[in-house]
Amino acid sequence: MDVVATSTTVAAVVATGLVAGLLLAFAVVVMPGLRALGDADFLRAFQVVDGVIQRGSPVFISVWAGSAVLPLLALGTRLLAGRGPDPLLLGVAAAVLLLGVHLPTVAVNVPANNRLQAVDVAGLDAASAARTRAGFEPRWNRWNRVRTVAATLALLLLAVSLRVG
């Protein structure tokens, strides 16, 4: 196996695994935990949690961006080397990540987060808080489940590519 292509694929596996784990944690721990809160408390708690992510932690940004870039880099190094991890699996994994994780994040989840960040939760009455939550939570969760499944599938494809190639 080519050392550069293999090393890049291992880095892609790590970054993708961390992203899949983060998305899974939101799906099975964070959002179910927040679900138990009243509407205004849910909205404020999500704002706080999302604020940590949006402040741009270098570690978070590196891992998140790495899960988008490293599979493509692994594919490119594999194609240039002519040997290494399976290029078809690398390509499919990269496509699954881009279309199933990063595109929904940019098109759905982040815009929803940004809209929610702009809400003055303290200024909402109970009915407005309930409407705001109802307009946010189900769609956000649905797309997070899509991202979780896609990231997990991509992780599996990347890992198998190391074994097949």
What's the pLDDT at 1? 56
Q: Would you list the domain boundaries of the chain?
A: 3-164
Report, as an integer, the average pLDDT of 27-37.
Answer: 97
pLDDT attached to residue 133: 98
Q: Which amino acid is at 101?
A: V
Q: What average pLDDT is seen over the chain?
A: 95
Q: How far apart are CA 162 and CA 90, in angstroms?
A: 9
Average pLDDT over residues 67-76: 96
Q: For 116-154, what is each residue's pLDDT tens digit?
A: 999 999 999 999 999 999 999 999 999 999 999 999 999
Instruction: List, as one string, the DSSP characters of 138-162.
Output: HHHHHHHHHHHHHHHHHHHHHHHHH
- DSSP letters for 108-125: IIHHHHHHHHT--GGG--
Percent of the chain whose predicted confidence (pLDDT) is above 70: 98
pLDDT surpassing 60 at residue 103? yes
